[in-house]
């Protein structure tokens, strides 16, 4: 991505002179950034589609305006480095996520460009050499930013299309592979049963028979998980006491110390077995990434309308390369992982009317937050 940025810089002729010009402009313009931001959102929100997409997200427009001011500060002060490129790329990605069409980025950039151009004209004489340099620098950096956003937009869109194709064939594939694998597993399992019934005192024989048995169970579990993922098992709804469910689920995760302060009983309506699986999967991931020396903290809180479960670990945090696809099937960074745990988590949580999100956590690693509605019956 940075290589692309450097190539684009050469292409539009963005150089040190432009960087100097932008930096010189910053103190003259920065007081007017909030006003530019106001104009920008006033214009953008006139479009019904854009308004719907922007206000659907969690962020309020007030927050978005602040982000735009920050964006303008960066535009003029740089540094125009790798981190800069990544921040710009994220804007394109967000557009794909909130399903805002590509051309909005072009017209939105134009609004900013025109506004800034007019404000520059107010502080510098446009016909002076400094004025021309300032104007050129603005055009170039706006071109560069737009190119970066459009590039990531296209890249992400292509990826998400490829993904949805992958998912539809995934379902069929999983169904038949699951079937076909259970047959040989059934043979292995029954053969093993016969062998275990034959008297043997050879320690190594016994050890390896035991090992085969464990691996058959493991393989069988993976198949079950895969099949569960593609089938719509109806939720077996009932009253579930979450505090106890979480405590039991955590206790069943063998690795590492997980700390959980048990809150007072908290009742939700849901499928106890599937909800338990959610907690187990999150806790297993957390203990894995925290490692034997690390820490995992699980916390369950509630408001009158929802229950919130957070799982924090002190691990390395979420790999940026899979951040956007974290909850999709077959995506994993765990050695030996199949990439089904989080996909199942999201599926179960969403079917309970809840949400799951991954962010950076207070222990330095990842934080997974699950929220479940409490007033199901109302």
Partner 1 sequence: MTRRYLVVDDNIEFAENVAEILTDAGAEVSVAAEGRSALAQLRATRFDGIVTDMKMPGMSGAELLRELRLIDPGVPVVLLSAWAQDAQVDEARRLGLLAFLSKASGTPQLIELMTHARRDATVVLVDDDRALVENLTEALSSAGFTVCSATTVQELDALAVQPLAALVDIRVPGATDGAALARIKELFPGTPMLVVTARPDFEGEPDQDVFHKPFDTAKLLARLQALAGKAGAA
Q: Closest separation between CB of residue 242 and partner 1, Å?
A: 20
CA-to-CA distance for 338 and 143, rounded, in angstroms?
A: 42
Applying CB under 8 A, among 188, 212, 338, 357 the residue interacting with partner 1 is 188
Applying CB under 8 A, among 38, 189, 255, 306 the residue interacting with partner 1 is 189
Q: Verify binding: residue 270, partner 1, rule CB under 8 A.
A: no
Q: Verify binding: residue 171, partner 1, rule CB under 8 A.
A: no
The SS3 assignment for 264 reads coil
CA-to-CA distance for 182 and 190, rounded, in angstroms?
A: 12
Token digits of residue 78? 């740089």
The SS3 assignment for 372 reads strand
Closer CB to partner 1, residue 215 or residue 301?
A: 215
Q: How many CB atoms lie within 10 A of CB 112?
A: 22
Q: How many CB atoms lie within 10 A of CB 206?
A: 12
Within the chain, strands assigned E span 238-241, 258-260, 267-270, 296-302, 306-313, 355-360, 366-373
Q: How many CB atoms lie within 10 A of CB 107?
A: 12
Closer CB to partner 1, residue 11 or residue 193?
A: 193
Site for partner 1 in 104-123 (CB under 8 A): none
Q: Verify binding: residue 172, partner 1, rule CB under 8 A.
A: no
Nearest Cα residue to 229 out of 135, 327, 325: 327
Task: Give strand pairing partners of 370.
Answer: 309, 356
**φ, ψ for residue 156 (rounded to 5)?**
-70, -35
Q: Closest separation between CB of residue 186 and partner 1, Å?
A: 4
Applying CB under 8 A, among 61, 83, 187, 206 the residue interacting with partner 1 is 187
Applying CB under 8 A, among 63, 67, 161, 191 the residue interacting with partner 1 is 191
Q: Verify binding: residue 304, partner 1, rule CB under 8 A.
A: no
Applying CB under 8 A, among 193, 206, 259, 262 the residue interacting with partner 1 is 193
Q: Verify binding: residue 60, partner 1, rule CB under 8 A.
A: no
Closer CB to partner 1, residue 152 or residue 225?
A: 225
The SS3 assignment for 150 reads helix
Q: Closest separation between CB of residue 352 and partner 1, Å?
A: 18
Q: Verify binding: residue 190, partner 1, rule CB under 8 A.
A: yes
Q: Verify binding: residue 182, partner 1, rule CB under 8 A.
A: yes
Q: How many CB atoms lie within 10 A of CB 10?
A: 9
CA 136 from chain centre, in angstroms, equals 37
Q: Verify binding: residue 147, partner 1, rule CB under 8 A.
A: no
Q: Verify binding: residue 211, partner 1, rule CB under 8 A.
A: no
Binding mask 212-251 for partner 1 (x = CB under 8 A): ----x---x---x--x---x--x-x---------------
Closer CB to partner 1, residue 175 or residue 364?
A: 175
Stretch that binds partner 1, among 123-131, 188-196, 258-266, 328-336 (CB under 8 A): 188-196
CA-to-CA distance for 275 and 355, rounded, in angstroms?
A: 13
Task: Tell me, by CB under 8 A, how many residues bind partner 1.
Answer: 24
Q: Verify binding: residue 269, partner 1, rule CB under 8 A.
A: no
DSSP character at residue 49: H
Q: How far apart are the first and last CA of the chain?
A: 50
Q: Verify binding: residue 167, partner 1, rule CB under 8 A.
A: no
Task: Give strand pairing partners of 75.
Answer: none
Q: How many CB atoms lie within 10 A of CB 23?
A: 13
CB-based burial, 173-194: b 16+ in 10 Å, e otherwise: ebeeebeeebeebeeebeeeee
Applying CB under 8 A, among 34, 66, 131, 175 the residue interacting with partner 1 is 175
Applying CB under 8 A, among 24, 185, 209, 338 the residue interacting with partner 1 is 185
Closer CB to partner 1, residue 2 or residue 193?
A: 193
User: Rule CB under 8 A: which residues touch partner 1?
Assistant: 175, 178-183, 185-191, 193-194, 197, 216, 220, 224, 227, 231, 234, 236
């Amino acid at each position: 991505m940075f290589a692309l940025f450097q190539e684009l810089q050469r292409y539009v002729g963005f150089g040190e002179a432009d960087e100097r010009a932008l930096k010189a402009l910053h103190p003259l313009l920065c007081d007017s950034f909030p006003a530019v931001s106001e104009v920008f959102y006033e214009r953008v929100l006139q479009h019904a589609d854009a308004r719907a997409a922007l206000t659907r997200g969690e962020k309020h427009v007030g927050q978005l305006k602040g982000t735009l001011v920050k964006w303008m500060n960066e535009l003029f002060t740089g540094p125009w480095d790798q981190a800069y490129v990544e921040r710009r790329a994220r804007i394109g990605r967000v557009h794909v996520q909130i399903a805002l069409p590509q051309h909005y980025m072009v017209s939105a950039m134009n609004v900013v460009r025109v506004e800034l151009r007019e404000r520059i004209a107010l502080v510098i004489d446009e016909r002076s050499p400094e004025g021309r340099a300032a104007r050129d620098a603005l055009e170039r950096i706006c071109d560069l930013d737009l190119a970066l956003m459009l590039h990531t937009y296209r890249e992400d869109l292509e990826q998400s299309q490829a993904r949805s194709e992958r998912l539809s064939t995934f379902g069929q594939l999983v169904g038949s592979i699951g079937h076909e694998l259970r047959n040989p597993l059934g043979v292995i399992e029954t053969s093993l049963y016969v062998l275990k019934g034959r008297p043997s005192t050879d320690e190594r024989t016994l050890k390896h028979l035991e090992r085969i048995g464990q691996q058959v169970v493991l393989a069988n579990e993976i198949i079950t998980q895969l099949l569960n993922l593609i089938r719509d098992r109806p939720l077996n709804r009932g009253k579930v006491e979450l505090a106890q469910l979480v405590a039991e689920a955590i206790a069943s995760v063998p690795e590492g110390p997980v700390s959980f302060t048990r809150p007072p009983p908290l009742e939700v309506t849901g499928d106890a077995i599937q909800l338990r699986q959610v907690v187990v999967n999150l806790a297993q991931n957390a203990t894995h990434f925290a490692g034997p020396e690390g820490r995992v903290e699980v916390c369950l809180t509630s408001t009158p309308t929802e229950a919130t479960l957070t799982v924090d670990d002190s691990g390395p945090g979420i790999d940026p390369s899979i951040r956007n696809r974290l909850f999709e099937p077959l995506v994993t960074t765990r050695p030996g992982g199949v990439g089904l745990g989080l996909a199942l988590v999201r599926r179960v949580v969403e079917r309970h009317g809840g949400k799951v999100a991954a962010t950076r956590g207070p222990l330095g690693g990842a934080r997974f937050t699950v929220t479940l509605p409490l007033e199901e019956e109302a």
